[in-house]
Amino acid sequence: MGYATGVTLPYFLRKDGSLGPLAFAHRGFSLDGLENSIAAFRAAAELGTVHLETDVHTTSDGVLLVFHDSSLDRVTDSVGRVAELSAAEVSRARIGGVEPVPTFDELVSALPDARLNLDVKDWNSVGPMAAAIEKHGVHDRVLVTSFSDRRRRAVLARLSRRVASSAGSSLTALFVLLGPVLPAPLLRKLLAGVDVFQVPVRYGRFPVVTPGFVLRAHRLGRQVHVWTINDSAEMERLLDLGVDGIVSDRLDLLKEVLIRRGQWV
């Protein structure tokens, strides 16, 4: 099964400019739990990927952070909701007790070649995220995603240039349930501005990533990225299905799989 060939945005090209399976480092790479830290993102880059998956939240004074949770409690030595804290207060927190919470500006500056898969976690971050993309001119380096299609579209509407974007939960559910019966022209209209489906293998017991799902997406020129896969055998199975990207906490294992298959760039 081949890869989606209709996607031509620079974001989806590998290091050598080719199409093929993309290796996404989920919140960077850290076996020590230092997720979404500059150290974790650097470690992923040192392993050889340019595609980094991450999330954004915004402080009470409008600073865009690279961070997954709405609060600091789970992964840092501090507590409190990010949206209710100032950037100065967040700057004192340490991920795993050792690494600071990075701002978007810091990540873009630290890894100027990285391609960022950005999950917009809340409405408070819509404006700051669009402004940050414009400020740094990283339109070719970002993929905007959100579980909320409305939130994702709100970011895209504020940008001066086209960026890569993935379907939210509503559009994905529509494609899973009605994709087999809706005509292709209608599906293309519904998926305007969507370049990729980023999905789990299944929702509960309901399978999502099936041969039919991948084939339908590719026929419409959309890629399929699957999260979060940390088992080598499952990586192999999904790559055999023809998925275009895998998001993993274990970039080291994913790299080994892709090397064995002759697909690592």
pLDDT number for residue 163: 97
Amino acid at 259: I
Nearest to 257 by CA among 49, 5, 50: 49
Answer for the pair 120, 127: CB distance below 8 angstroms, yes or no.
Answer: no
Q: Render pLDDT for 184-203 as a digit per residue (tens, 0 to 9).
A: 999 999 999 999 999 999 98
**Residue 51 falls in the annotated catalytic set:** no
Q: Report percent pLDDT > 90 for the chain.
A: 92
pLDDT tens digits, one per residue of 43-52: 999 999 999 9
* Residue 2 confidence (pLDDT): 56
Q: What is the mean pLDDT of residues 168-177?
A: 95
The pLDDT, as a whole number, for residue 212 is: 96
CA distances from 212 to 41, 241, 243, 245, 254 (A): 34, 10, 12, 17, 24
Tell the CATH superfamily of the 10-55+113-260 domain.
Answer: Phosphatidylinositol (PI) phosphodiesterase (3.20.20.190)
Active site (annotated) includes residue 26: yes
**Pick the catalytic residue: 51, 68, 218, 225?**
68
pLDDT band, residue 19 (cuts 50/70/90): confident
**Candidate list 26, 57, 218, 225, residue with the active-site label:** 26
For the chain, the domains span 10-55+113-260
Residue 137's CB is within 10 A of a number of other CB atoms, namely: 11
Spatial neighbors of 13 by CB under 8 A, at least 6 apart, are 19
Q: How confident is the model at residue 21 (pLDDT cuts 50, 70, 90)?
A: very high
Q: What number of CA atoms fall less than 13 Å from residue 248's CA on the CB side?
A: 24
Give me the sign of the Cα torsion angle 68, 247, 223, 218: negative
Q: Helix, strand, coil % (nearest 5) of the chain?
A: 40, 20, 40
Can you give the pTM of this predicted structure? 0.94
